[in-house]
Amino acid sequence: MKLDLVDVFGTGPLSGNPLAVVGGGEELDTPQMLRLTQWLGFSETTFLLPPTDPAADYRVRIFYPAGELPFAGHPTLGSAFAWAAAGGRPRRSGVVVQQCEAGLIEVRLSGDMLSFAAPPFTRYGPLSEDEAAEAARIAGVDPAAIVEAVHVANGPKWQLLRLASAAEVLAASPAARAPIGTDVGLAGPCDPGSAADWELRAFFANQQGVLVEDPVTGSFNAGVAMHLFASGLARGSYVAGQGQATGADGRVMCEQDESGQVWIGGRCAMVARDGELPNL
């Protein structure tokens, strides 16, 4: 087995969201995968396996410290990048087909810039009054400041709280703890002339119920982008920023093509490659 470390969505060295990618994941069982994920401590770790669907180029299992996810965004881009760096060749030039628990996900390859086709929502629609109040408590925002509260689940069970500005997003003071399974995020528009058009923050609870802020989150960006495009709050394409509160400096390219498909992209960089993993 080999271990690669990939930086996803960064704007420079070590500025994005780190991902561990394990090649030869078929040698591990589920408890071993989870244990390694928890020990590494990243928001997610992925395990590459041979595909079982003939249309896929590879299969991936995606773990976060509290369990397994059917889909996640930065692990999708980082896994595709690591698979290609290890010599993987897609059936279609420039397009990798990833098999995961959420189904088949297309990933476009263009050097170190990758983008995935946002999967359909598994839940979409307004939060209830109680859900919005609890999400506001967890995220540390005044409920009166919420412009809109929406389910944008696509694997992770993301709840979006849209605020009036990027400044309000960055000023949020999240709680220390939250129920396991919490996936809450914030989004607000940036001032004209900023490096990004929207600023995002995303929070999840780890296996101890500690609330963790994710540096840059592909799945949340996908849900937000699909909602913004569908509601007319964004058109064509935009750039999202994420990670300032964690010391990261992420940029996410969000685009809706002529067919209506939303694509979520960013830069990937190899930090360490082909690390040997002993028997676990």
| Alpha-carbon gap, residue 205 to 64, rounded angstroms | 10
| Gap between the terminal Cα atoms of the chain | 10
Rounded to 5 degrees, φ, ψ at 219 are -65, -40
Non-local (6+) Cβ contacts of 152 within 8 A are 121, 124, 158, 159, 160, 220, 223, 224, 226, 227
| Active-site annotation holds for 27 | no
Q: Which two tokens stand for residue 2?
A: 């080999």
Q: Considering 26, 27, 44, 101, which one is annotated as catalytic?
A: 44
Counted residue by residue, the chain has a size of 280
Q: Which two tokens stand for residue 96?
A: 């990798």
| Alpha-carbon gap, residue 276 to 206, rounded angstroms | 27
Residue carrying the six token digits 């060295």 = 13
Angstrom CA distances, 108 to 77, 115, 210, stand at: 9, 5, 35
Contact 255, 108 (CB under 8 A): no
| Alpha-carbon gap, residue 156 to 62, rounded angstroms | 11
Identify the DSSP state of 177: B
What positions carry a catalytic annotation? 44
